Amino acid sequence: MNGKTLLALAIPCALPFNALADAGGFVEDAHFSIKARNFYMNRNFLDDRTAQNYSEEWAQGFIGVFESGFTQGTVGFGVDAIGLLGVKLDTGNGRKGGGTLLLEEDSDGAKDSYGYGGAAIKARISNTVLKVGDQLMNLPVLATSDNRLLPETTQGWLLTSKEVEGLTLHAGHFTALRSRDQSEHDSGRMTALDLVGGNYQINRDLSARAYHSDVDDYWRKTYAGATAQWQLAPNWLTKFDFNGYDTRSQGRALGGKLDNRIWSLSATLSTGAHSVMIAHQRVSGDGNYTYGVDGNSTVFLANSVQYSDFNYENERSWQARYDFDFAAVGVPGLSFMTRYLRGSDFHTAQTDDGKAWERDIELKYVVQSGKAKDLSVRVRQASFRSADRGLNFNEVRVITEYPFNLF
- Please enumerate in sequence order all residues whose Cβ is within 8 A of that of 108, keeping only pairs 6 or more positions apart, or say none: none
The answer for residues whose C-beta is within 8 angstroms of residue 190's C-beta and 6 or more apart is 154, 174, 175, 176, 177, 215, 293, 294
Can you spell out the DSSP letters for 221-252?
Answer: EEEEEEEEEEEEETTEEEEEEEEEEEEEE-TT
297 is catalytic: yes
Nearest to 390 by CA among 85, 45, 115, 3: 45
Per DSSP, the three-state class of 192 is coil
Active site residue 323: no
- How many C-beta atoms surround the C-beta of residue 272 within 10 A? 11
What whole-number distance in Å separates Cα of residue 388 and Cα of residue 80? 46
- Judged by DSSP in three states, 289 sits in coil
Active site residue 173: yes
- Tell me which of 33, 146, 161, 173 is the catalytic residue: 173
Catalytic residue among 146, 194, 216, 217: 217
CA–CA separation, 146 vs 138, rounded Å?
Answer: 10
Q: How far is CA 78 from CA 28, 30, 132, in A?
A: 12, 9, 11
Contacts by residues 220-224 (CB-CB < 8 Å, ≥ 24 positions apart): 220/247, 220/248, 220/250, 221/141, 221/245, 221/246, 221/247, 221/294, 222/246, 223/140, 223/141, 223/197, 223/300
Which of 270, 297, 335, 383 is flagged as catalytic? 297
Rounded Cα distance between 321 and 265, Å, is 14
d(CA 184, CA 116): 8
Cα-based distances in Å from 34 to 4, 63, 402: 14, 5, 8
Q: How far is CA 196 from CA 97, 160, 205, 296, in A?
A: 36, 10, 25, 19
Contacts 24+ apart (CB under 8 A), 353-357: 353/388, 354/312, 354/315, 354/386, 354/388, 354/389, 355/386, 355/387, 355/388, 356/308, 356/310, 356/384, 356/385, 356/386, 356/388, 356/389, 357/384, 357/385, 357/386
Q: Which active-site residues does the annotation give? A: 173, 217, 297
